[in-house]
Amino acid sequence: MNAITDLHPFLDGKPKRLFIGGKWLEAASGKTFETHNPATGEVLAQVAEGDAEDIDRAVAAARAAFTGPWSKFKPAQRQAVLLKLADLVEAHIDELATLDTLDMGAPISRTRNNRQRAVGMLRFYAGMATALHGETIDNSLPGEIVSFTLKEPVGVVGAIIPWNGPLTATIWKIGPALATGCTVVLKPAEEAPLTPLRLAELCVEAGVPPGVVNVVPGFGETAGAALAAHPDVDKVAFTGSHFTGQSIVRASAGNLKRVSLELGGKSPDIVFADADLTQAVPGAGMAVFANSGQICSAGTRLFVEKKIYDEFVGRVADFSKTLRVGDGRDPETQVGPLVSQEQLSRVTGYLSIGRQEGARPLSGGERLTEGALAKGYFVPPTVFADVRDDMRIAQEEIFGPVISAIPFTDIEEVIARGNNTTFGLGSGVWTRDVGKAHKLARAIKAGSVWINCYQAMDPAVPFGGYKMSGYGRESGIQHLDEYLNVKSVWIKTD
Ligand code: ADP
């Protein structure tokens, strides 16, 4: 045993392979890549590096399963598989949470907390598996002619996920596929491929037939691009940056495959002077500091009503200084490292840009390098005051624990400024005035509006973007429609 194999039962020192057609295979090229612990820089495992040839093999396996055994599964049988998988995820949640923490850095308190969400999603999709149905529609044609619709699985789904929540991101893609009868080729993010691979093992245990779920780790420009362009993939479900989302849409043109996109954001979080500030201070703080700001719907543009601006922003900065930054494996840790050296460079780059643009850091502002933190990619929670709308830190997605705090004076002004972004994923409003709350709920151009809370999520409630934050919805019954075709059937009966 060496130190790495002591960390986790899944880390056995052997290279991790691709999961294709129910088998564990090496990449056709024989290549592997390393995956690291971002808290320490240690290599956790070598992982087979899939590319276009492996994507071909996986798509062929997914197609064979789709037209073969999986198509014979009745809804209740797919439901049973999903329920078994939910039980397995629940039974193994500590192990899965630890793997997420090791591979992408999030605090164990957060990844363990995913239990309800991960298991709840699988049980929600299980429920939906037997609730899908078409409609009988009265038509107005002369004579006797009946019309009704069938809902049919779209087919082979290419799922491309990011690294910021591997367990839940994987379930968010394979759950609706299993419920609707689709098959999946999942490409995990190169930064955090381990949990999706472990989940593939649990899929086998749950009775998912070979080829229904395939997992092909590899890089975006090779494996990801091959999946997005593949002529035998019927739909791509993508979560990641808007730049990649645009290239996925371009790649989809070859066979006009369906695409759903959950992309980035620069979400406004609006605090009125009448809000309950004792709730709003930690609420606005954690709207950005949770997962070290690596959440696409983080409320990074903090608009604060001018009369409380200095007090409120000061209190958020004080709150940020109380948060414990460290290795995610420590149960006391509240803010873990950023996922990679690349992400560290990006976030610290924005810290410099913010200062150069004239924003004033009230907390954080520099990479942490004391003691053991020097080996990892740690940036403390940072609050920039005196931010103007035209600064880059107020416009561009940083994907780090950085709040850009901006003053405003009235409601119409903050609606216009809040919406003045190319993105539209999340948004927050803190107020005790129900009239203001309703007005903002309608006026904000974003897929989610959280009032007196932030980042509430539930498997039954749809989530997704407006504008450059993408299209399509995940969670809710709308999610299942993304994986279904509607067929109209006409039968002349006279
Ligand atoms: P992030 O900046 O959050 O890493 P990306 O959009 O780069 O977001 O990555 C999200 C996912 O998209 C990852 O799995 C990555 O490998 C994949 N990806 C990156 N580039 C491409 C591409 N050109 N085509 C398909 N997938 C890609």
Q: Model confidence over 38-55: pLDDT tens digits?
A: 999 999 999 999 999 999
Number of H helices, E strands in the chain: 17, 21
Catalytic residue among 49, 190, 262, 482: 262
Residue 484 has pLDDT above 90, yes or no: yes
Q: What percent of the chain has pLDDT over 90?
A: 98
- Fold designation for 4-263+470-488: Aldehyde Dehydrogenase; Chain A, domain 1 (3.40.605)
Q: Which atom of ligand 1 is nearest to the CA of 189?
A: 14
Q: Answer whether 97's CB lies under 8 Å from 167's CB.
A: yes
For the stretch 108-145, pLDDT in tens is 999 999 999 999 999 999 999 999 999 999 999 999 99
Contacts of 179 (CB under 8 A, 6+ apart): 78, 79, 82, 125, 126, 128, 129, 132, 480, 483
- Residue 436 half-sphere exposure toward CB, CA atoms < 13 A: 19
Distance 332 CA to ligand 1 centre (A): 32
At 2 the pLDDT is 53
For the stretch 187-205, pLDDT in tens is 999 999 999 999 999 999 9
Reading across the β-sheet that carries 382-385, which strands appear in turn? Answer: 360-363, 382-385, 402-408, 301-305, 268-271, 428-430, 450-451
Distance 59 CA to ligand 1 centre (A): 19
Residue 1 has pLDDT above 50, yes or no: no
In the chain, CATH 3.40.309.10 covers: 268-458
In the chain, CATH 3.40.605.10 covers: 4-263+470-488
Name the one residue in this structure whose structure tokens are 């991790």: 16
- pTM, two decimal places: 0.97
Domain at 268-458: CATH code: 3.40.309.10
Q: Which atom of ligand 1 is nearest to the CA of 218?
A: 16
- Comparison of pLDDT for 6 and 222, the residue scoring more: 222
* Residue 197 main-chain phi, psi, to 5 deg: -70, -40
262 part of the active site: yes
SS3 category, 424: coil
SS3 category, 16: strand
Distance CA 66, CA 89 (A): 24
C-alpha distance from residue 421 to each of 117, 286, 349, 418, 471 (Å): 30, 22, 21, 7, 16
Q: State the CB neighbour count (10 A cutoff) for residue 221.
A: 12
Catalytic residue among 182, 296, 357, 482: 296
What's the token pair of residue 368? 């942490």
What's the token pair of residue 211? 């080829």
Share the mean pLDDT of the chain: 97
Q: What percent of the chain has pLDDT over 70?
A: 100
Nearest Cα to Cα of residue 171 among 107, 226, 229, 120? 120
Q: How far is the first Cα of the chain from the last one, in angstroms, to the nearest whole number?
A: 77
Residue having the nearest C-alpha atom to atom 19 of ligand 1: 220
- Arithmetic mean of pLDDT, 454-458: 97
Distance 224 CA to ligand 1 centre (A): 7
Q: Which atom of ligand 1 is nearest to the CA of 227?
A: 25
Q: Which of 244, 339, 345 to mutate to test the pocket of ligand 1 (most atoms within 8 A of CB)?
A: 244
Ligand 1 site residues (CB inside 6 A) read 160-162, 187, 189-190, 219-221, 224-225, 228, 240-241, 244, 247-248
Distance 353 CA to ligand 1 centre (A): 25
At 23 the pLDDT is 98
Q: Answer whether 381's CB lies under 8 Å from 335's CB.
A: yes
For the stretch 414-449, pLDDT in tens is 999 999 999 999 999 999 999 999 999 999 999 999
- Lowest mean per-residue pLDDT among 1-15, 200-214, 281-295: 1-15
Distance 342 CA to ligand 1 centre (A): 13
